[in-house]
Amino acid sequence: MNNPQLNKNGELQHLLTTEGLPVEIVRDILDRAATFIDVSDGLEIKNVPLLRGKSVFNVFFENSTRTRTTFEIAAKRLSADVVNLNIGASSTSKGETLLDTVDNLCAMHANMFVVRHAQSGAAHFIAKHVAPEIHVINAGDGRHAHPTQALLDMFTIRHYKKEFHNLRVAIVGDVLHSRVARSQIHALTTLGVPEVRVIAPKTLLPALVENLGVQVYHDMAQGLRDVDVVLMLRLQNERMQGGALPSAQEYFKYYGLTEEKLARAKPDAIVMHPGPMNRGIEIDSSVADGLHSVILAQVTFGIAVRMAVMSMLTGAKG
């Protein structure tokens, strides 16, 4: 089976998932992202006109202001032309098929599609059907993958921890429904993190999750013991209706990240969250705003990482 995100020369053609992504490419992305950050004056993102004359289409079948905005900023910092399309509200509701939409967008001569879709596999589907010169970045497909989020998380971890081979990382929350968690797990194992843990009640873990290379914990106090990095996941409110959880209160009591629980982790542990946060449900405000939190740095790094991915895809030399 060919890896659909690499071209014949093993270079990145699309970014669809962190699974099976060669470690050299992951490192290249992180290294390149670092060059876009001006560390002399806080954490400023540079303007680098690598994509001048190129057009990037943000094709969002599922709404997300935040992710779309960070892609937009990243593209603009690279001097690309950006077109935002919220398809969720237009074509599909008029009965146009996904394939028709893709064909139409191809005809508009974009260089790159940044796609988000509620269905797992949608980004692969689109990548399979676009014109060969168009690059696809998966900005989240169903429960499957959200590779740029995972890569910015890796960037953040490397920024604070320098290395991956000596880390213990815990992912906490709704792994079952989380594309972020899946992409994080693949990225962490690819980069050689020796111990990746997932912490959640059984209703929020997919079958055979341990086969992804993680250790499963149901008890948060045990799971957080001596970890270097805590990756929190967002809990969707609808989980309470499907019988996956009894209440937000009980979830917070057992799986919400509080200072008390965080005390089990290493003293210099960092806390991350992909946003938007549910304060008081998966994370306590004192932790979200506390000394261990690097959540806002993640957002800044996210722009640099997305710039790196976009410029790599178009073959621009950084």
Determine if 88 is a binding residue for another protein (CB under 8 A): no
Q: Where in 161-200 is the site for another protein (CB under 8 A)? A: 179, 182
Determine if 124 is a binding residue for another protein (CB under 8 A): yes
Contact 42/12 with Cβ under 8 angstroms? no
Beta strands in 100-246 (DSSP E): 112-117, 135-141, 168-172, 195-199, 215-217, 229-232
Determine if 122 is a binding residue for another protein (CB under 8 A): yes
Q: How many residues does the chain have?
A: 318
Contact 72/112 with Cβ under 8 angstroms? no
102, amino acid identity: V
Among 45, 115, 145, 187, binds another protein (CB under 8 A): 145
Determine if 236 is a binding residue for another protein (CB under 8 A): no
Contact 82/76 with Cβ under 8 angstroms? yes
Interface region with another protein, contact rule CB under 8 A, candidates 7-15, 26-34, 203-211, 268-276: 203-211
Q: Are strands 195-199 and 168-172 parallel, antiparallel or unpaired?
A: parallel
Determine if 209 is a binding residue for another protein (CB under 8 A): yes
Among 8, 39, 207, 238, binds another protein (CB under 8 A): 207
Helix axis angle, 23-35 relative to 147-161, nearest 10°? 70
Q: How far is the CB of 55 from another protein (least distance, A)?
A: 25
Number of residues that bind another protein (CB under 8 A): 26
Q: Where in 92-111 is the site for another protein (CB under 8 A)? A: 97-99
Nearer to another protein, 81 or 96 (CB): 96
Buried b (16+ CB within 10 A) or exposed e, 74-108: bbbbbebebeebbbbeebeeeeeebeebbeebbee
| Peptide bond just before 276 cis, omega within 30 deg | yes
Determine if 206 is a binding residue for another protein (CB under 8 A): yes
Among 4, 201, 213, 275, binds another protein (CB under 8 A): 4
DSSP-H helix ranges across 43-144:
65-77, 98-106, 122-129
Q: How far apart are the first and last CA of the chain?
A: 31
Determine if 212 is a binding residue for another protein (CB under 8 A): yes
Q: How far is the CB of 309 from another protein (least distance, A)?
A: 20
Determine if 39 is a binding residue for another protein (CB under 8 A): no
Q: How far is the CB of 4 from another protein (least distance, A)?
A: 6
Neighbours of 160 (CB within 10 A): 15
Determine if 6 is a binding residue for another protein (CB under 8 A): no
Nearer to another protein, 40 or 211 (CB): 211
Interface region with another protein, contact rule CB under 8 A, candidates 136-144, 162-170, 249-257, 281-289: 136-144
Instruction: List contacts with another protein (CB under 8 A).
Output: 1, 4, 19, 97-99, 117, 119-122, 124-125, 141-145, 179, 182, 206-209, 211-212
